Structure 1
Amino acid sequence: MDWIKLIGGGFAHGVANFGLHDTDQDKAERYAIAVVDAGLGWDDVEAHVNAYADHRNWDDDKRGMEMENVRSFMSDWL
């Protein structure tokens, strides 16, 4: 599965905050369902966020902020 594209939907395939808007939240939920269905855990999610951050050339501040956003969102799923 192309996890970068799947998690990217939660960021509006750009630099939006993870799951912030309704359409992004729907895509973030689809990502979360796929993670659970695949039997993945937080380490995998963290790797997906880091890969997406690398793809988007995020600085450390943006990466840290979004990691916390994703952690908060995913806490209900993992």
Structure 2
Amino acid sequence: MNRQQGIGKNVTLDNPGFIHETARLQGKVYVGPEVSVWTYAVTRCEQFEIHIGARSNIQDFVMIHEGVSTGTRIGE
């Protein structure tokens, strides 16, 4: 799969529905099936994991970080 600019090498894409070209996904991030990530949304994860479950919708300008001592889980 050809990675679009802004999607880091540690990001796992599991058949997402749509990722906008301005979205930035960095660190250990899992993007589940049918997930949509919209304009200028950002994930940043330096230590743990961000898990975005199936059919989640990450709207414009959303910023998602990991917790202080845990990862972040959205959706399933």
Higher helix fraction: Structure 1 or Structure 2? Answer: 1
State whether TM-score is above 0.5. no
Q: Which has the higher strand share?
A: 2
TM-score range, shorter chain: under 0.3
**TM-score w.r.t. length of structure 2:** 0.20
